[in-house]
């Protein structure tokens, strides 16, 4: 999972570069002597990105934003990721939402991060559901907000997110966030995380756990 140190790139640069036009970029001069983007394949991908191909924008943006790339390449990668996010690419939305939230300095930046994460989550990106669920759970002030957070975590965990399943295991094994302590539910999420071979994806009932006493996993429809 790509999460480089965004502290090296100020948020002021992020939102200014977001407005730059990719169409005016001259790829040949920009990548000369660069470390991460000088292959023929990258040149083809970049041309596709310039033409508005969201997948190309995300692919090359993620590559250029890696820690091993130069600062100029990282900035260019950030621009590409921004454009991919504007095109509703779920991975790009998630990366930007995560990066902004982890480095947020004020409520506006938190708000912007949550917008990215919500969009990614709504597009079915399960890591975004897991991360957003944890963020909302840690900041929930009402039972409705807590239930929304738990639903996001359960959906992500059942889709294969280890982070979400581990979070749910700790919640139900320790009775965190006001949830009733349940060894049955804790065992279920533990098994889903560490014993994936226990669950056969071809069995429609494999991911349903009936714990008795009204405790039942019902989020997978």
Domain boundaries, the chain: 6-99, 124-216
Mind listing the pLDDT tens digit for each residue in 163-181?
Answer: 999 999 999 999 999 998 9
For residue 32, give the 3-state DSSP assignment.
Answer: coil
- pLDDT at residue 184 in the model: 84
pTM above 0.85, yes or no: no
% of residues, the chain, pLDDT over 90: 50
* Average pLDDT value over all residues in the chain: 78
Could you write out the DSSP letters of every residue in 50-65?
HTT-HHHHHHHHHHHT
Mind listing the pLDDT tens digit for each residue in 50-105?
Answer: 888 999 999 999 998 988 888 888 998 999 999 999 999 999 999 999 999 999 99
CA distance 75 to 13: 8
- pLDDT at residue 215 in the model: 55
Alpha helices in the chain (DSSP H): 11-17, 27-31, 40-50, 54-64, 71-86, 90-102, 107-122, 126-139, 143-158, 162-174, 183-194
Mind listing the pLDDT tens digit for each residue in 18-63?
Answer: 433 433 333 333 443 356 766 767 778 888 888 889 999 999 999 9
Task: Show Cβ contacts of residue 88 under 8 Å, excluding neighbours closer than 6 positions.
Answer: 54, 119, 123
Mean pLDDT, to the nearest integer, of 193-200?
A: 57
């Amino acid at each position: 999972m790509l999460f480089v140190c965004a502290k090296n790139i100020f948020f002021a640069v992020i939102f200014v570069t977001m407005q730059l036009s990719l169409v005016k970029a001259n790829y040949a001069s920009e990548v000369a002597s660069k470390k991460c983007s000088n292959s023929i394949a990258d040149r083809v991908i970049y041309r596709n990105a310039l033409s508005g191909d969201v997948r190309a924008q995300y692919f090359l943006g993620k590559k250029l934003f890696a820690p091993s790339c130069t600062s100029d390449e990282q900035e260019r990668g950030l621009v590409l990721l921004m454009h991919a996010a504007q095109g509703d690419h779920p991975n790009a939305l998630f990366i930007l939402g995560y990066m902004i939230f982890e480095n947020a300095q004020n409520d506006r930046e938190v708000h912007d991060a949550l917008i990215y994460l919500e969009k990614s989550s709504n597009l079915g990106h399960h890591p975004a559901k897991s991360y957003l669920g944890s963020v909302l759970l840690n900041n929930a002030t009402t039972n409705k907000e807590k239930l929304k957070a738990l639903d996001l975590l359960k959906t992500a965990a059942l889709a294969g997110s280890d982070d979400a399943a581990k979070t749910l295991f700790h919640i139900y094994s320790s009775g965190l966030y006001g949830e009733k302590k349940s060894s049955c539910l804790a065992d279920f999420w533990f098994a889903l995380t560490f014993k994936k071979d226990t669950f056969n994806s071809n069995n429609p009932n494999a991911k349903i756990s009936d714990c008795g006493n009204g405790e039942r996993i019902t989020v997978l429809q």
